[in-house]
Amino acid sequence: MKTFKELRVSAPILEALSRQGYACPTPIQEQAIPQVLQGKDVLGCAQTGTGKTAAFSIPVLQLLSAGKPEGYKQGAIRSLILTPTRELAIQIDESLEAYGENLELKHAVVFGGVSQSSQVQQLRQGVDILVATPGRLLDLVSQKLIWLDKVEILVLDEADRMLDMGFIHDVKRVLSLVPAKRQTLFFSATMPRQIQALADAILRRSYEGGSDS
Ligand code: AMP
């Protein structure tokens, strides 16, 4: 078993992880983190409870903190993490806060069922990483409060659940709004044919991430 340091996780994040009490990476983290850090697309088959949130959050934080791309626009959303439920969205946002505590990156979360005003206020201050559920995200996009044209890394979390919940059209619409040239991380607990087809259609070099074994 490798350590986070051996996976080339950066010092500020290592420090945050040790404060969280994480001694070593889980299998999905050991498989996904190096692939993501190399800029590759990732297909991860992992259930909740396997550490999948950290498997994508850690390398996203590290890649974005490493430098800004050509044509960087101040305040632009550089990574979008799409997840099906408010509970998952909040949990991911809390993880970004914990793992990124020594970094300068800004993150925010938007989800439906609550007033949008405090979410909009946060967005106006500029956000590097946005965690979102599909409906509220597209609502804010249509109000021109969110632009996705500078997204460098797109994460689809619990893709099978998003499809089960009827978000397929929303997911496809989001895919049409983010740049074609991007890194994509795709996580799903199950891999039925429809999910595999979606992954095949949107990933550049798909990498089969491990399950919870
Ligand atoms: P997740 O599968 O992302 O929902 O994570 C499940 C739980 O495992 C969360 O409470 C995380 O804080 C915790 N966790 C994630 N990675 C590690 C790790 N490497 N060591 C210990 N706990 C972890």
Report residue 1's pLDDT band, with 50, 70 and 90 as the boundaries.
confident
Dump strand ranges (E) for the chain: 42-45, 79-82, 107-110, 129-132, 153-156, 183-188
Instruction: Name which residue sits closest to atom 12 of ligand 1, judged by CA.
Output: 51
Residue 98 alpha carbon, nearest atom of ligand 1:
12
Residues with CB under 6 A from ligand 1: 22, 25-26, 29, 48-54
Structure pTM? 0.95
Ligand 1 atom nearest to 22, measured from its CA: 20
The band of 71, judged by pLDDT with boundaries at 50, 70 and 90, is: confident
Q: What percent of the chain has pLDDT over 70?
A: 96
pLDDT digits (tens, 9 = 90+) for 124-176: 999 999 999 999 999 999 999 999 999 999 999 999 999 999 999 999 999 99
The predicted pLDDT at position 205 comes to 63
> How large is the angle between the packed helices 11-20 and 86-99, nearest 10 degrees?
120
Q: How far is the CA of 179 from the centre of ligand 1 (A)?
A: 30
CA of 55 to the centre of ligand 1 (A): 9
- Looking at ligand 1, which atom is closest to the CA of residue 49? 2
87 pLDDT exceeds 50? yes
d(CA 18, CA 99): 10
> Cα separation of 193 and 144, whole Å?
35
Helix (H) or strand (E) holding 57: helix 52-66
- Give the model's pLDDT for residue 211: 42
